[in-house]
């Protein structure tokens, strides 16, 4: 008799052994390992209260700005009244150079003299806003007429002294003869408008101080060149006349449309006849090889013009029809006359400015650029002269009449 078998559980079915963990799917072979989750923030570094959708703007210090950015961010120069001196006068003969380093130039720009001189340029610009060259002026004083006759005499000197034949591209030697004659006749030319004053004896000593500004306005005799520094000397000469009260605010429009236009005619004739070399030119990166202020005054003339926009300088018909009425168009036409090739290549700055939406922005931008690129450059301003009419580095407290 077999023993009783105990009831025992049925044997368990063997479970299949799981495959070893791998980084690939056994079916498709794709990756099965995902990157670990980023660690959670600790209590030491709690999450910020907010997360900006973009990085905040960073205000770079001024010394990290490019020259173009500095000009754009600079304040717009403002027009200022010129403080007129009263007799008895005390003149400095001759005026002297005072700027020899960047520190000297910085002190000059911080002085009321620099602010008022630039304000005078802005006032001249404002006086022709919306005006054509041929528009009647409120007044054309005998002094303004005398200034025009002075410049006409210098144009006649050019006709009397023809250029000599030479092989060099720049610097005809006949210019030195013209310059010498201009210097020899400078005092006589100054007397043309000084004698028109009621108290002419009080103004006679002024000639010795204003003549150096005048003779430095038409180029350098030894180098036979011309640039924006000489143009600035002409503006300084006009500023001296305003300081003496010989030019008044009501004369400003005539000073630009009569005197400065005649000066521009003279300088273009000198440049073409005697082949003056551009002095310290910026080359293709400048407005012009020679001038700056005509672009300032000319852009003011075109402010709020109904039809002509900055891009109109590319229209040859407009240049031909209106260059005799607007200084800006006249300058562009002259550049196209003396330079060959595509306009955007030989004058990229002017080409870029033509993309500005309106003339008001062009004018304010050029005024800021004039301050930075002409009045703000040591190589130009190291030749600038200072005397009693244009004092140098004098604190504002010592010149109450210069306060605006």
Beta strands 96-97 and 385-386, pairing class: antiparallel
In angstroms, what is the C-alpha Rg of the chain? 36
pLDDT at 303: 96
pLDDT at 368: 93
Q: What global pTM score does this model have?
A: 0.81
pLDDT at 88: 77
Determine whether 179 is exposed, middle or buried from the number of CB atoms within 10 Å of its CB (0-12, 13-18, 19+): buried
Q: Token pair of 357, please?
A: 């939406």
Over the stretch 152-161, which tens digit does the pLDDT of each residue have? 999 999 999 9
pLDDT at 195: 85
Determine whether 183 is exposed, middle or buried from the number of CB atoms within 10 Å of its CB (0-12, 13-18, 19+): middle
Q: Token pair of 104, please?
A: 């000297």
Over the stretch 386-397, which tens digit does the pLDDT of each residue have? 999 999 864 444
Q: Token pair of 277, please?
A: 């070399």
Residues in the chain where the model's pLDDT stays below 70: 1-24, 26, 29-64, 281-286, 393-404
pLDDT at 47: 57
Residue 213 CA, distance from chain mean position? 21
Task: Classify each residue of 233-256 as buried b or exposed e, where b means 16 or more C-beta atoms within 10 Å of its C-beta.
Answer: bbbbbbbbbbbbebbbeebbbbbb
3-state DSSP assignment of residue 97: strand
Phi and psi at residue 376, to the nearest 5°: -100, 15
Instruction: Using the structure block, give the residue that is written with the tokens 């006749």.
Output: 185
């Amino acid at each position: 008799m077999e023993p009783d078998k105990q009831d025992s559980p049925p044997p368990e079915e063997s479970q299949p052994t799981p495959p070893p963990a791998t980084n690939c799917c056994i079916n498709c072979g794709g990756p099965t390992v995902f990157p670990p989750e980023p660690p959670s923030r600790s209590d030491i570094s709690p999450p910020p209260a907010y997360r900006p959708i973009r990085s905040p703007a960073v205000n770079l210090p001024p010394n990290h700005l490019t020259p173009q950015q500095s000009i754009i961010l600079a304040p717009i120069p403002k027009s200022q009244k010129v403080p007129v001196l009263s007799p008895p006068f005390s003149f400095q003969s001759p005026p002297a150079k005072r700027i020899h380093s960047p520190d000297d130039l910085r002190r000059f720009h911080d002085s009321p003299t620099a602010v008022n001189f630039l304000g005078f340029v802005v006032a001249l610009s404002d006086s022709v806003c919306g005006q054509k060259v041929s528009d009647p002026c409120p007044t054309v004083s005998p002094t303004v007429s005398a200034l025009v006759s002075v410049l006409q005499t210098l144009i006649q000197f050019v006709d009397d002294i023809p250029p000599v034949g030479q092989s060099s591209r720049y610097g005809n030697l006949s210019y030195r003869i013209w310059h010498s004659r201009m210097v020899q006749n400078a005092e006589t030319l100054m007397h043309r408008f000084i004698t028109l004053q009621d108290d002419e004896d009080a103004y006679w000593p002024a000639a010795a101080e204003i003549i150096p500004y005048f003779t430095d306005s038409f180029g350098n005799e030894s180098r036979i060149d011309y640039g924006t520094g000489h143009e600035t000397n002409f503006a300084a000469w006009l500023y001296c006349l305003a300081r003496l009260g010989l030019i008044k605010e009501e004369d400003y429009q005539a000073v630009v449309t009569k005197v400065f236009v005649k000066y521009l005619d003279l300088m273009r004739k000198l440049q073409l006849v005697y082949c003056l070399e551009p002095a310290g030119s910026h080359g293709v990166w400048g407005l012009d090889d020679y001038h700056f202020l005509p672009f300032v005054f000319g852009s003011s003339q075109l402010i709020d013009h109904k039809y002509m926009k900055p891009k109109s300088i590319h229209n040859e018909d407009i240049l031909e029809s209106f260059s005799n009425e607007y200084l800006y168009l006249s300058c562009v036409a002259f550049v196209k006359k003396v330079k060959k090739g595509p306009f955007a290549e030989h004058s990229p700055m002017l080409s870029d400015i033509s993309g500005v939406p309106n003339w008001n922005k062009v004018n304010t931008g050029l005024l800021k650029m004039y301050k930075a690129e002409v009045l703000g450059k040591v190589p130009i301003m190291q030749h600038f002269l200072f005397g009693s009419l244009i004092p140098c580095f004098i604190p504002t407290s010592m010149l109450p009449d210069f306060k605006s």
